[in-house]
Each structure stands twice: as C-alpha cells, then as structure tokens.
Amino acid sequence: MILETDGIKPIYVQISEWIENEILNGNLQKDEKVYSQYKLADMYNINPATAAKGLTRLANEGILYDKRGLGKFVASEAKAIITEKRKNQTVKQLLHDLVLEAKQLGMSEDEIHERLKEVWRVENGRD
C-alpha cells in the first residue's frame, strides 16, 4: 500500500482501511495478531502515534481486540463488521453520488437500473 500524504483522507484512516482490506481479502484471519504500531510506523515511515490511532479506531469498532502485553488481534466477527460498515457507508455514498450525477444528466430511474445491471453483468463475467 502507498499512503497518500497529500490527500484528503488522514493517514490513520488509510492505515485502518488497509488493515480492513487485509481482513476482507483473507490475508489476516480471526484471532491473528496484526502489525504493531511500531511495525506499521516503520513500514510506512510515519509516526507511531498515527499508526496507533488507526489501530485504536479498529479496536473501537470491534474489528480488533487487545491481548494485554501481546498486541492487537483480529476479532472473530471482524469480516462481518467491516462488510456491514462498508455497505452502510461506502456503497451508500457511492450510490448517492451516482443518483445525483444521473439526475443532473436527466437520466430516468429505469436508465440507472439498466446501466447498473449492465455493469454488474460485465463485472461478474456474464457479458
């Protein structure tokens, strides 16, 4: 992962989203230890406090849990929490933006549905 240091998204958010992606992709399994704040800081040349903030964010959301003195580990329900969070935040925002753009272009609801179905078929190898 390459951090966007000049972007709008804070680095600690980028770190937490990267860990979420690692969990969703199966690279980090439940009850597996995640990188420490110091390892993340070394990997990405960032302040350990910034890395810690990303890890704390995930712990506060129930995605990671602490084992005192050992570090942070992937919670058993982490994948489900991330999936639900992204459905409710990311996908909802993308759909909101899509509908606003489509309205500006004068598209009907049926046109939007057809375009969405078309993209879905292509992305799933059915076209």
d(CA 81, CA 59): 12
Which range (23-27, 28-32, 60-64, 111-115) has the least confidence? 111-115
Q: Are residues 70 and 96 in the same domain?
A: no
How does pLDDT run across 99-109, given as a tens digit for each residue? 999 999 999 99
CATH code, domain with 31: 1.10.10.10
**Residue position matching structure tokens 């076209």:** 127
Q: How many domains does the chain have?
A: 2
d(CA 86, CA 50): 22
The reported pLDDT for the residue numbered 78 is 98
Range of the domain at 90: 79-123
Q: Are residues 66 and 109 in the same domain?
A: no
91 or 77, which is more confident?
77
Q: Mean pLDDT of all residues in the chain?
A: 93
Confidence of residue 59 (pLDDT cuts 50, 70, 90): very high
Q: What is the DSSP letter of 89?
A: I
Q: What is the DSSP letter of 63?
A: S
- Cα–Cα–Cα angle for 53, 36, 1, nearest 5°? 75
Contacts of residue 7, Cβ cutoff 8 Å, sequence gap at least 6? none
The reported pLDDT for the residue numbered 90 is 86
pTM score above 0.85: no
Identify residue 22 by its one-letter amino acid code. Answer: E
Q: Are residues 15 and 66 in the same domain?
A: yes
How does pLDDT run across 32-42, given as a tens digit for each residue? 999 999 999 99
